[in-house]
Amino acid sequence: MRRIKILSVLSAAIIAALIGIPANAAPTPDLGPTDTSLMHNDLYSTDSTSLPGPGVGAHVAASSTPGGACAATFVGSDGMPVSLCTSYVGTNPPAFAAPTVVLFDPVTANPIARLQLTKGGLLGGVYGYLDSKDRVVVADGSGSILRVAHRRTPAGYQMFIDQRIDVKQLIPQGDSITAVAPDWDGRIWFATTHGVIGTVRGDGTRAVAMSLPAGEEIANGLTLRPGGASVLTDHALYEMSAGSNGVPKTLWRKTYDRGPARKPGQLSWGSGTTPGYFGEGDDQYVAIVDSAVRPNLLVYRTDGGSLKCTMKTFVTSGQGTENAPMAWGDSLLIGSTYGFAYPPFATSGGPAVPAFASFVGGMTRIDVKPDGCHRIWENHDRLASLPHLSRADGLIQGLSYGDLNANPVQEVGPVYYAATDFRTGRRVVTTQVGVAPLDEPMQLTGVIGPGRVLWQGTLGRMLKIAGGR
């Protein structure tokens, strides 16, 4: 049975019923506040939250210019937002595109402390998390896993490295850690670009690893459940576990159609989705979207890896996605990023084919029933940030562009806060919150925090988008 981080058995049962994951008692992963400590909201990568978003009355309550793009934001138990950002110009030492942890004032949204990290792989500054002491756990380019803490001093807030766990002996030269995540046994899992999967005890005393087949690369996050982990390479989906010695092992492997080349609007050649666990009772699944010419939703049973169902992911939307499916109960929501103009330095796997395409956007809801996959709706949302589904208000929320005909060039023009009804797929809130290029959303990940607030990074700003005035 899956177990979810809880404060009591009762709250676990309520949460599990809402997101479709069976409740069970401790042990629990070393995570900060529920819903605000991970890029995809929880270790199952559902991209869904129990907190309500801004909704009707959304407006920019505060903003700042942090000097970089903040790809993932968390909110700690102290209410302080902290982000994993790429500073355009690092100062300590001087560097271009320097990974930096930035602490923001919860009222003004101004940066109040920052710590520049050693530069390494691009995704090392994206797939981190917040632990139970409000420390950002993230990898840096030196082959270390760091716990970055903050404290208030007479001179103001300060960020510092509270723990450094050295795992470079397990990582080949030229490789770098792309993702870290905690499990239910006190370990931190990590994955590297070139396919090393490892675990290390939280106190740093034992680190072990194994390598996936040569030639397979990882460009997405880790998804964990009690007793298991899902890893997606640019060739195959792996279900893994770690025994008492912590060494990861493959339970099953499923190859998928990666298409003839990298698609425009995807960061690498292969699936762009972080795997997502979902399901109810004994029917527990993991879902990905492949990168076929017309991409397929693939839903596998976690126990054994048999295919539950598959169908074409999109009909009217762009034919590709870089975003993880959102999940609620037996429902999956998948947005298209096909044609999205990512910065060239962020991509890998060769040139896109075709080189350019219009960002049509679009989102679809597919429910997984006993008799298979069923499309419920598909719309024309052009979401330009990684969206989140609020189970509290039933709204899918993020930043978007206007209609393609009115705004064919995504890098210029109005940027909106958008909220779409989970049940019907209809847009219920559209409020302008910025103008590109300053507020180009870049498919960055925000977080819905307490008080109906969406913290969202853009190309030039950190936005605090609040609910009704």
Give the DSSP per-residue string, 204-264. Answer: SS-EEEEEPPTT----S--EEETTEEEEE-SSEEEEEEE-TT--EEEEEEEE----SSBPT
Q: How far apart are CA 390 and CA 395, in angstroms?
A: 5
In terms of residue numbers, what domain contains 259?
A: 9-466
Q: Is the pLDDT of residue 288 over 60?
A: yes
| pTM score | 0.91
Number of folded domains in the chain?
1
Residue 130 lies in a domain: yes
Q: From 128, 114, 125, select the one nearest 159 (Cα to Cα).
A: 114
Average pLDDT, integer, range 362-370: 97
Q: Is the pLDDT of residue 315 over 50?
A: yes
- Please report which confidence band the pLDDT of residue 24 belongs to, taking 50, 70 and 90 as the band edges: very low
Residue 140 lies in a domain: yes
Q: Which residues contact 14 (CB under 8 A, 6 or more apart)?
A: none
Higher local confidence (pLDDT), 17 or 273: 273
Residue 2 lies in a domain: no
- Please report which confidence band the pLDDT of residue 18 belongs to, taking 50, 70 and 90 as the band edges: very low
Residue 315 lies in a domain: yes
Q: Which residues pair with 137 in a beta bridge?
A: 129, 147
Higher local confidence (pLDDT), 50 or 126: 50
Residue 211 lies in a domain: yes
Q: How far apart are CA 94 and CA 242, in angstroms?
A: 40
- List the structure tokens of 419: 């909220």
Q: Is the pLDDT of residue 134 over 90?
A: yes
Long-range contacts of 301-310 (CB under 8 A, 24+ apart): 302/225, 302/228, 302/239, 302/277, 304/252, 305/239, 305/251, 305/252, 305/253, 305/254, 308/368, 308/372, 309/368, 309/372, 309/373, 310/373
Give the mean pLDDT of the chain: 91
- Please report which confidence band the pLDDT of residue 252 belongs to, taking 50, 70 and 90 as the band edges: very high
Average pLDDT, integer, range 298-322: 97
Higher local confidence (pLDDT), 44 or 1: 44
Q: Any idea what the CATH number is for the domain that residue 114 is in?
A: 2.140.10.10
Give pLDDT tens digits for 382-409: 999 999 999 999 999 999 998 877 777 7
Q: Are 310 and 51 in contact (CB under 8 A)?
A: no
Q: How far apart are CA 352 and CA 349, in angstroms?
A: 9
Q: What is the pLDDT of residue 194?
A: 95
CA distance to 16, 33, 372, per residue, from 21 (Å):
5, 18, 19
Q: What is the pLDDT of residue 345?
A: 79
Average pLDDT, integer, range 223-233: 95
Q: How far apart are CA 336 and CA 317, in angstroms?
A: 6
Give pLDDT tens digits for 339-353: 999 988 788 889 999
Q: Which residues contact 420 (CB under 8 A, 6 or more apart)?
A: 363, 379, 381, 395, 396, 397, 426, 427, 428
Q: Are 418 and 456 in contact (CB under 8 A)?
A: no
Q: How far apart are CA 134 and CA 197, in angstroms?
A: 25
- List the structure tokens of 92: 């300590």
Q: Is the pLDDT of residue 37 over 70?
A: yes
